[in-house]
A and B are shown apart, each in its own frame.
Chain A
Amino acid sequence: MNSDIKLFENGKRLDGRKNDELRKIKIEVGVLHRAEGSCYLEWGDNKVIVAVYGPREAIPRHTQNPLRAIVNAKYNMAAFSVGDRKRPGPDRRSREISKVISEALENVILVEKFPRASIDVNIEVLDAEAGTRCAGLTAAAVALADAGIPMKDIPVACAAGKIENQVVLDLGKEEDNYGSADLPIAISPRTGEILLLQMDGHLTVEEFDKALDLAIKGCYIVSDIQKKAILEKYQPNSEGK
């Protein structure tokens, strides 16, 4: 932690947010023509786009599970999405994120309906500004619903963290760089169960309880934005006149 950097000014966070306030979130559904389901999401300065293909017969064949579909989320960062250009292609970090997102999504997808198939979820981070895995998972869930994939819930992700000994919601760039803990989670909002949980930094058990509580509250706010975006796309408007 770098003590020279002040993360609060006049009781507010650097971007003017309150401790329990999210960055601005915008979700658009069905933005791509080729994909079976798609979603574009802006979360603060993060921009992600997700395309879903499938269910389709999994290739290569040895990856097929005779009883259920495999969920293949691929998290990828565009070369221009970060301060210093990132070399294109997957690295260890993006592989790990792809894995935990795949597992979280698999929990709610009715995979047993599609033996031998794969459901491919391509997550492209176009602009990165802390919290891309939460943004990516949240957009992926919407794209899956848009693709008509049967699922028990629309998962949603959000992070909480600790900066200058205070627990806050949804860390921004500086807060992520200079804060002392980050706790991204994903939940199934219908049941409240936790689907993804990672933490780095240092939290007391009391701080963890508080951060988890805050992150879950954040998830429910984002969940409403997800649902509204899907309904807005498909609820018939005045076309029938």
Chain B
Amino acid sequence: MNQEKREIVIPSQLLGEIKNKKAGKGTFVENGKIYSEILGILNNNSEYVNVIPLKGRYDPIEKDFVIGIVDIAMASSWLVDINAAYPALLHVNEVPWDVEFGETEKYLNHGDSIMAKVLQVDQEKKLQITLNDRNLFKIKGGQIFNVEPHKVPRIIGKKGSMISLLKKYTNCRIIVGQNGRIWLDGSDDGVKKVIDTIKMIENNALSFGLTNKIENLLKKDAKDVH
């Protein structure tokens, strides 16, 4: 099982029939047959057939934690890029500060990074985010590293196992946004190790048993250093 590779599928690829399986994410049904609608990884392990996208923009889901970059400060709101197809609106009511009308620039400006939460995704895909919750703030210092949004779950690991490993072995502060942006702060060596490891996770995101492999690697590295 450890060495098994996941199968890549492409749009229009036949994945099964609805009499045997339920059509899940990344699929469509025509004449009783289930097809993939995207380039992705086939996940056939439950009663559903799902395809997890390999590429593409972040698809916002309410309550997701995302790292946003402010594009424009408007009179009573900001437009924020969250790596989705659409910009997200951050209204002055959704920030922890008392912002006077027309004074948004005093608080957040073009280029500022924020840790935010997706508040609402409406039918027209108009997006709203908020800073009114725990652990949401304007980000200062450190750096942001981008990964394909669909690989975020692998980078976080089961119940955060992968991220805990990375924090433990590198002493870096790490925040992973569901939208594929990762914020890092720490020593030069630590940050480099995190980035190298994340790249490795990205490249190996298709193989099983990755957490163990990565832990062994980080352990070995740690031994080399000390």
Instruction: Give every chain B residue within 8 A of A115 (Cβ-Cβ).
Output: 123-125
The residue in A56, A66, A150, A154 that gathers the most chain B C-beta atoms within 10 A of its C-beta is: A150
Complex-state Cα separation, A208 to B142, whole angstroms: 65
Q: Is A236 an interface residue (CB 8 A)?
A: yes
B10–A227 contact, CB under 8 A?
yes
Q: Is B55 an interface residue (CB 8 A)?
A: yes
A55–B85 contact, CB under 8 A?
yes
Which residue of A55, A147, A150, A153 is within 8 Å of B26 (Cβ)? Answer: A150
Complex-state Cα separation, A222 to B4, whole angstroms: 31
Complex-state Cα separation, A151 to B56, whole angstroms: 13
Which residue of B3, B11, B38, B203 is within 8 Å of A239 (Cβ)? Answer: B203
Q: Is A225 an interface residue (CB 8 A)?
A: no
Interface range on chain B: under 10, 10 to 19, 20 to 34, or 35 or more? 20 to 34
Q: Is A136 an interface residue (CB 8 A)?
A: no
Q: Is B219 an interface residue (CB 8 A)?
A: no
Instruction: Give every chain A residue within 8 A of B38 (Cβ-Cβ).
Output: 145, 148-151
B86–A117 contact, CB under 8 A?
yes
Instruction: Give every chain B residue within 8 A of A147 (Cβ-Cβ).
Output: 55-56
12 A-B pairs whose Cβ atoms sit less than 8 Å apart in the complex: A36-B56, A54-B85, A115-B123, A115-B125, A117-B85, A146-B39, A148-B53, A150-B38, A152-B37, A154-B10, A231-B10, A239-B203
Complex-state Cα separation, A2 to B87, whole angstroms: 57
Q: Mark B75-88, 1 if CB is under 8 A from A, else 0.
A: 00000000001110
Which residue of B8, B26, B86, B206 is within 8 Å of A240 (Cβ)? Answer: B206
Known: A116-B124, A239-B203. 19 other contacts (CB 8 A): A36-B55, A110-B37, A117-B85, A117-B125, A145-B39, A146-B55, A148-B38, A150-B26, A150-B38, A151-B12, A152-B11, A152-B37, A190-B35, A230-B10, A234-B39, A235-B8, A236-B206, A239-B204, A240-B5
Residues 18 to 63 of chain B near chain A (Cβ within 8 Å): 26, 28, 30, 35, 37-40, 53-57
Given known contacts A148-B56, A150-B37, A152-B28, A57 and B12 CB-to-CB distance under 8 angstroms = no
Complex-state Cα separation, A177 to B132, whole angstroms: 67
Q: Mark A34-65, 1 if CB is under 8 A from B, else 0.
A: 00110000000000000000111100000000
Instruction: Give every chain B residue within 8 A of A240 (Cβ-Cβ).
Output: 3, 5, 204, 206-207
Complex-state Cα separation, A25 to B87, whole angstroms: 40
Q: Is A114 an interface residue (CB 8 A)?
A: yes
How close is A104's CB to chain B, nearest CB, in angstroms? 15
How close is A151's CB to chain B, nearest CB, in angstroms? 5
How close is B70's CB to chain A, nearest CB, in angstroms? 16
The residue in B5, B28, B39, B124 that gathers the most chain A C-beta atoms within 10 A of its C-beta is: B39
Complex-state Cα separation, A110 to B12, whole angstroms: 12
Complex-state Cα separation, A231 to B11, whole angstroms: 11
Which residue of A55, A153, A189, A235 is within 8 Å of B57 (Cβ)? Answer: A55
A148–B86 contact, CB under 8 A?
no
A57–B86 contact, CB under 8 A?
yes
Which residue of A54, A56, A151, A234 is within 8 Å of B11 (Cβ)? Answer: A151
A66–B124 contact, CB under 8 A?
yes
Instruction: Give every chain A residue within 8 A of B6 (Cβ-Cβ).
Output: 236
Q: Mark A135-179, 1 if CB is under 8 A from B, else 0.
A: 000000000011111111110000000000000000000000000
Q: Mark A9-44, 1 if CB is under 8 A from B, else 0.
A: 000000000000000000000000000110000000
Instruction: Give every chain B residue within 8 A of A37 (Cβ-Cβ).
Output: 55
How close is A31's CB to chain B, nearest CB, in angstroms? 14
Instruction: Give every chain B residue within 8 A of A66 (Cβ-Cβ).
Output: 124
How close is B32's CB to chain A, nearest CB, in angstroms? 14
Instruction: Give every chain B residue within 8 A of A108 (Cβ-Cβ).
Output: 11
Residue of A at shortest CB range from B6?
A236
Complex-state Cα separation, A160 to B181, whole angstroms: 48
Complex-state Cα separation, A13 to B3, whole angstroms: 50
Residues 180 to 226 of chain B near chain A (Cβ within 8 Å): 203-204, 206-207
Which residue of B40, B87, B123 is within 8 Å of A57 (Cβ)? Answer: B87
How close is A233's CB to chain B, nearest CB, in angstroms? 9
Instruction: Give every chain A residue within 8 A of B86 (Cβ-Cβ).
Output: 56-57, 116-117
Instruction: Give every chain A residue within 8 A of B8 (Cβ-Cβ).
Output: 231, 234-236
How close is B2's CB to chain A, nearest CB, in angstroms? 10
Residue of A at shortest CB range from B205?
A236
The residue in A37, A145, A148 that gathers the most chain B C-beta atoms within 10 A of its C-beta is: A148
